[in-house]
Amino acid sequence: MTFLKFPLVAAVTGLVALGACTDPNGSILAQDGDANKNLKNGALLGAGAGAVIGALSKGDGNRDQGAVRGALIGAALGAGGGALLDRQERDLRQSLGNDNVTITNTGDRLIVTLPQDILFASGSSAVRPDLQRDLGAVASNLQAYPNSSIQVVGHTDSDGDAGYNQQLSESRANAVANVLINNGISGSRIIANGRGESQPVSSNLNPQGKAQNRRVEIIILPNAA
């Protein structure tokens, strides 16, 4: 059954077109390098979701009005969340002094990736003392932005026994989580788990790819308002 009449379609299309105009590459969503990327993307995604929810929540005669109202509310909420995540990312980059640590902002979460080779000695799950500072900086950032939950996920390459790799990834994830907890982060905010060799980000056929696959990810997920 089709219920999206022209005013509703026009409202949503107009919002998307407005966002596209902000991107010199012509993409609907803002691209990397845009200082306000996640604010814009949050507004656009929030507007689209809000329009659909607003339309569905109204009767047949009021769907257009509900869609427009939902789009406006969704855009405002999405922009606010995206701006906050941008600010947290910026603060975290300023506090981290290790070029080997990468931060990815997807628009709805931050992913802090730490290569296992800088975190642990070979075969060990004890965090190296010189990396304690970086994890302390992450913990300070998490304290400054408390409205989030954290996933700590360990990964390995495919060398060796898969069962051993799974256990090692779990032990290393727990070790990183414990450092965050020891630096003041509530354990109730953290879930630690290991994925072993099951989620590579590069080829396991060469040393460079294996090094990328050996990692611990700290995933910061803002809580719903």
The residue extents of the domains of the chain are 6-91, 99-222
Helix, strand, or coil here: 33? coil
Q: Is the pLDDT of residue 41 over 70?
A: no
Amino acid identity, position 92: L
What CA–CA distance (Å, rounded) separates 125 from 214? 13
What is the structure's pLDDT at 2? 46
CA distance 101 to 163: 27
Contact 152, 216 (CB under 8 A): yes
pLDDT, one tens digit per residue, over 67-101 is 556 555 544 444 456 899 999 999 999 999 788 99
Q: Does domain 99-222 have CATH number 3.30.1330.60?
A: yes
- Bigger pLDDT: 110 vs 19: 110
User: pLDDT by residue (tens digit) across 176-219?
Assistant: 999 999 999 999 999 999 999 999 999 999 999 999 999 999 99
Largest distance between two CA atoms of the chain:
66
* pLDDT value at residue 19: 47
For 157-175, what is the mean pLDDT? Answer: 97
Whether residue 109 contacts residue 91, with contact meaning beta carbons closer than 8 Å, is answered with no
Q: Which two tokens stand for residue 178?
A: 């414990």
For residue 218, which of 167, 179, 166, 164 has the smallest C-alpha distance? 179
Would you place residue 61 in the very low, low, confident or very high pLDDT band (cuts 50, 70, 90)?
low
* pLDDT value of position 82: 80
